[in-house]
Every structure is written in C-alpha cells, then in structure tokens.
C-alpha cells in the first residue's frame, strides 16, 4: 500500500484515516518552541463529508487512499439506482441513492459528471458545475419587469428548485451553477 | 515551467532591508559589537528536535570525507567569544535547520542573536521589548510567566500537572493526536500550540518566561516553589519570534545536559552527535554571567509587513533556492 510522509502531503491528497478515505484540505507544519515537530492536517472524510483536524508527529507515514476522479456520463435511473459510464473505457457503474447524494437534483440523461472512485468503487458523484435545464413549473412573470428584484422559484426538469428572474417563463431553458444552485442566464439549447 | 522569479516582491525586499538597517542601528547606538562566526562548524548541537544539516568536506587530493555541520544558531561560537572577553555582542547571519519547511519555516533562515554580560533574562526582555517597539512600531509587550499563562487558559499548573491530566485536557479541547505521545513536555507543547498560542499576543507581543526545568535547554535553573528555567520566548500574532536564556555557566551541568540529550537520542533511535568540546572548554574557562537571545529575522519582517508566509519576505524560498 502506498504511503505518504506527513511532510509530502499537500491539499487535495487522498489519505486513509481510521479506514475511511479522506481528502486533505490543509497541512500545517508546526514546530513548538524547541519541541517536537507536528503536522496539523485538516481533511474531509469522503464518506461522511465531515471536516476533521488531526495532529501527526512530523515525518510519520499515512496510508494513501486509492481515490481517483473519472469523467462519466449519466445514463439512466432504473427506479432505484443510477447508472453511469466512464468516458474513456466505457466501464459502467451502478450507484445507489446515498452515493449520488446532492448531485441527483441536477442529473439529466447524458450529462457529463465526475465520479469519485475508491478502490474502483463509486464513492461520490459530482454534477457538472454548469447545467442547462428546462423550467417545468413557475408562476407567470409580472409584465414590465426586466431582470432585477427578488425573482421567483422555478422547478426544473430534474426536480431541482432555483430562483429565477420574473421575466423567465415556463418551458424556457436556463443555465444554472450547480455549486450554489443559482440561475446564471437564459440558454438556447440543452448541452 | 520552473519559476525563476523571486518568492518575495522587490517592494518587500526594500522593507526587509529597512528592518535589517534598523536592527544594526539599534545595536550600534548601544555599543553592542557586531560579530560574525562560522556557519560551517566541526561541532553541532545534541538537541533531539533541532537538527543541523550536515555538509561534507574533503581535503584536496583525498577521498575521505569529514562531516561538518551548518550551524543551527551561532550560540556556541558566540559564547566562546564571550568567554574570551568580547563584552556585549550581536550577530545577524544564516542558520539552518534540518527538515523544517512550512508556512513559518524555511530550512535556511536569518537569525539575530545577541548576548549581554551582566543581564538576566528580565533585563534582556526589557531590551528585546525596545527593539520590537522600534522595528515593529508596536506597544510595550505583555509579560507573563509560563505557569500563569497555563493557569489562566487551561487551569493547569504546568510544573506539577501529570501527563494523564494533560492528555485529558487535550481530549476535552478536541485535540486528536495520531499515535502515542509519552513525553510530558510534548503534551505541554501541543496544548500551547493548539489552545494558547493562537489567542495570546494578538495586539502586542507577549513575553513568556520561567519555563519548566525540563525545558531549560541552555538556561540556568532556579529553585522556586519548584525548579524553573530562566528562559523566555516571544510571540506575536501566533508567531514564535524569539527564545532567550539567562545563560547556564556551569560546565559540569552543561556536560550533564548534553549527556541527557545523547541518552534520549539513543533511546529514541536518533543518530548520535559529536559533542562540541571547544564550547565545553570555553565554559570551563569561564563564561561571564550573561543573558542571550535568538530571534527569527524573516518572521520579524513578515510581521512588519503583515505577510502570512515566510517565503513572502525571503528573496528565494527553499523551493526556489
């Protein structure tokens, strides 16, 4: 099993802590007075999403996690599971509800996603940063309004709810930033 | 492509030069002699956690290499000058520490070290305070004993508390440590770095004095309610700036501390170190009663400029050297 020394670990490194795969957020070298050196490593547990800090003696080894991100296309949902296909080798993955998590509200068939694999098994799904989706339900806009104001809620074809400007109507396509669930612009055609 | 450019801006280097000029002026005004001792030395220190970087010397036409060391600080050589009758001295030079790379650490750094015959650690704290007020343009520093600070922030007496109580305290502060730490001073260090250092000395520097005797290093130990080391450290905005001692003069006691370091090294599988016999011989001859302190100049410049990384104030940091 591959290992890192605490001093080699940078933000983004994937490590195993207490058996769980984690991604390193920050690693600070600490040398108190004339004492022993430490590394304060802050990481996100990729299974639970929790951010934790742990202090290691400087120079200790930490197991590397075999975690990779691969580009995958979302194929379809069979009623209980989501099916994806890795872009470069056409390998297919069946992913359950928990692993898909928040990403599911943005998933439309054939959208390009990022699958995080741990030892070859799906650990997390990230939707594309931007998606183009059709509005399936929203109140009619107020005449004369152009862009500003508070906006109104709209339901999208994937089930997500976002706030949109009042002048946008049901049936239109919009571009949405999935990282903060916000409307970006009107769109011409779906991607 | 590898970057050839400096890690500091040219503007930062101008400010750095100003800080260094102010320091030299400060000592010139006080009649402290500037000296320059070897960076490359036959001896090195025995400290388990401060390690010199070896350098290999070969005589012309020979193959055998002699292991020398880049200095970790100019302390031993400067004390030999003091024993030889130099009077008050200071030096600004490069020092080297094995393995120390990070936001606040560069393995090669600029150290300011000075010694004052006739001073104890409180007198030297007074002088250091003036230097910081001059260079950093800050208010007079806060001054508090190591014991009072631990009592204030954690409700513990660091001189007498058991290792078990320290571990429970760390746990209650949500400090999670990987692996086993069996050294009492290391738990004190951890509580210091996690719980106290980040919150003290934010508006003005703080001087921390009278350390546990187990952390005396090269300081005199006094007998109070418990033995305490006449040592101080300086912190500002969570950054350790300086470490000073009312200097140990007793050659026999110094020899014992070296032996204890070497025994600790052996016990923990760390490599052996040659003793600096020239330094011990100078102590036997007689070191004047004095106090001395070492200050990290790069960190001082960081604080002056408000930069978060030591690499911001070094022309070429370790990665680019």
Can you tell me the distance from the alpha carbon of A107 to that of B171, in angstroms, rounded to the nearest whole number? 43
Can you tell me the distance from the alpha carbon of A180 to that of A162, in angstroms, rounded to the nearest whole number? 10
Can you tell me the distance from the alpha carbon of B165 to that of B196, in angstroms, rounded to the nearest whole number? 17
Can you tell me the distance from the alpha carbon of B88 to that of A187, in angstroms, rounded to the nearest whole number? 76
Q: For B138-196, give the DSSP string.
A: -PPPEEEEHHHHHHHHHS--TTT--HHHHHHHHHHTT--BSS----HHHHHHHHIIIII
For residue A49, the model assigns a pLDDT of: 85
Residue identified by tokens 């058996």 is A19
Report the percent of chain B where pLDDT is more than 90. 92
**CATH for A3-63 (3.40.630.40, 1.10.1040.10, 2.30.30.30, 2.60.120.10):** 2.30.30.30
- Under an 8 Å CB criterion, which residues of A touch B? 7, 28-38, 52-60
What is chain A's mean pLDDT, rounded?
90
Mean pLDDT in runs of 10 for chain B (321 residues)? Answer: 89 98 98 97 92 93 91 97 98 96 96 98 98 97 97 96 96 91 93 95 97 96 94 97 98 96 93 92 98 98 97 96 94
DSSP one-letter code for A32: -
For residue A149, the model assigns a pLDDT of: 60
Can you tell me the distance from the alpha carbon of A159 to that of B78, in angstroms, rounded to the nearest whole number? 74
For residue A57, the model assigns a pLDDT of: 93
Can you tell me the distance from the alpha carbon of A15 to that of B303, in angstroms, rounded to the nearest whole number? 34
Q: Which residues of chain B does A52 touch, with a Cβ-Cβ cutoff of 8 Å? A: 176
Mean pLDDT of A70-95: 94
Can you tell me the distance from the alpha carbon of B10 to that of A111, in angstroms, rounded to the nearest whole number? 48
Residue boundaries of the structural domains of chain A: 3-63, 67-126, 130-187
**Contact (CB, 8 A) for B44 and B77:** no
For residue A32, the model assigns a pLDDT of: 84
Q: Do B100 and A52 count as a contact with CB atoms less than 8 A apart?
A: no
Interface of B with A in 28-67 (CB under 8 A): 47, 49-50
Q: Which residues of chain A does B176 touch, with a Cβ-Cβ cutoff of 8 Å? A: 52-55
**Contact (CB, 8 A) for B176 and A52:** yes
pLDDT digits (tens, 9 = 90+) for B212-240: 999 999 999 999 889 999 999 999 999 99
Contacts of A81 (CB under 8 A, 6+ apart): A94, A95, A96, A97
- Phi first, then psi: what are they for B234, rounded to 5°? -125, 130
Superfamily of domain B10-138+278-320: Bira Bifunctional Protein; Domain 2 (3.30.930.10)
Nearest to A35 among B49, B178, B197 (CB): B49
**If you measure CA to CA, which chain B residue comes closest to A53?**
B176
Q: Which residues of chain A does B49 touch, with a Cβ-Cβ cutoff of 8 Å? A: 31, 34-37
Can you tell me the distance from the alpha carbon of B9 to that of B17, in angstroms, rounded to the nearest whole number? 13
Domain A67-126 sits in CATH at: 2.40.50.140
Q: Is A67-126 the same fold as A3-63? A: no
Alpha-carbon gap: A135 to the closest alpha carbon of chain B (Å)? 46
Number of Cβ within a 10 Å radius of residue A181: 14
This prediction has a pTM of 0.84
Superfamily of domain A130-187: Nucleic acid-binding proteins (2.40.50.140)
**Contact (CB, 8 A) for A163 and A151:** yes
**Contact (CB, 8 A) for A27 and B105:** no
Packing angle between helix B184-191 and helix B146-154, nearest 10 degrees?
70
For residue A144, the model assigns a pLDDT of: 56
State yes or no: ipTM above 0.95: no
Packing angle between helix B10-29 and helix B297-305, nearest 10 degrees?
120
Can you tell me the distance from the alpha carbon of A118 to that of A124, in angstroms, rounded to the nearest whole number? 9
Packing angle between helix B121-136 and helix B297-305, nearest 10 degrees?
40
Residue boundaries of the structural domains of chain B: 10-138+278-320
Q: Which residues of chain A does B240 touch, with a Cβ-Cβ cutoff of 8 Å? A: 32-33
Nearest to B240 among A33, A53, A56 (CB): A33
Which neighbouring-strand residues pair with B113? B91, B294
């Amino acid at each position: 099993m591959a290992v890192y020394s605490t001093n080699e670990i940078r933000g983004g490194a994937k490590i195993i802590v207490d058996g769980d795969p984690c991604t390193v957020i920050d690693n600070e070298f600490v040398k108190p007075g004339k004492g022993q050196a430490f590394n304060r490593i802050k990481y996100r547990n990729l299974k639970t999403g929790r951010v934790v800090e742990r202090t290691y003696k400087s120079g200790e080894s930490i197991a590397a996690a075999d975690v990779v991100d691969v580009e995958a296309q979302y194929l379809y949902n069979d009623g209980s599971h989501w099916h994806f296909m890795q872009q470069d080798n056409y390998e297919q993955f069946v992913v359950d509800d928990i692993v898909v998590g928040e990403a599911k509200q943005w998933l439309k068939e054939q959208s390009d996603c990022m699958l995080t694999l741990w030892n070859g098994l799906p650990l997390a799904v990230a939707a594309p940063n931007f998606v183009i989706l059709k509005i399936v339900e929203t109140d009619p806009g107020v005449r004369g309004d152009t862009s500003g104001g508070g906006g109104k809620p709209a339901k999208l074809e994937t089930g997500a709810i976002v706030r949109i400007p009042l002048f946008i109507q049901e049936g239109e396509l919009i571009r949405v930033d999935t990282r903060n669930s916000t409307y970006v612009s009107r769109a011409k055609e779906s991607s | 492509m590898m970057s050839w450019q400096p890690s500091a801006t040219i503007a930062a280097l101008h400010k750095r030069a100003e800080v260094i000029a102010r320091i030299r002026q400060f000592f010139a005004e006080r009649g402290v002699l500037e000296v320059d001792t070897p960076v490359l030395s036959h001896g090195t220190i025995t400290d388990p956690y401060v390690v010199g970087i070896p350098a290999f010397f070969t005589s012309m036409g020979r193959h055998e290499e002699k292991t020398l060391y880049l200095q970790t600080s100019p302390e031993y050589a400067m004390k030999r000058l003091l024993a030889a009758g130099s009077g008050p001295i200071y030096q600004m030079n490069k020092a080297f520490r094995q393995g120390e790379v990070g936001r606040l650490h560069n393995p090669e750094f600029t150290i300011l070290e000075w010694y004052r015959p006739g001073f104890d650690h409180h007198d030297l704290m007074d002088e250091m305070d003036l230097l910081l007020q001059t260079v950093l343009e800050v208010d007079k520093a806060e001054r508090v004993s190591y014991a009072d600070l631990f009592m204030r922030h954690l409700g513990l007496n660091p001189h007498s508390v058991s290792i078990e109580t320290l571990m429970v305290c760390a746990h209650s502060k949500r400090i999670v440590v990987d692996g086993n730490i069996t050294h009492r001073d290391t738990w004190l260090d951890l509580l210091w770095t996690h719980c106290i250092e980040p919150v003290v000395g934010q508006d003005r520097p703080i001087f921390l004095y009278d350390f546990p005797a187990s952390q005396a290093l090269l300081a005199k130990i006094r007998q109070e309610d418990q033995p305490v080391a006449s040592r101080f450290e300086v912190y500002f905005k969570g950054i350790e700036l300086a470490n000073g001692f009312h200097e140990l003069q007793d050659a026999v006691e110094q020899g014992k501390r070296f032996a204890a370091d070497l025994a600790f090294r052996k016990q923990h599988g760390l490599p052996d170190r040659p003793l600096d016999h020239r330094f011990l011989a100078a102590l036997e001859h007689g070191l004047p009663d004095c106090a001395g302190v070492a200050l990290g100049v790069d960190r001082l410049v960081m604080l002056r400029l408000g930069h978060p990384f030591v690499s911001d104030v070094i022309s070429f940091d370790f990665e680019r050297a």
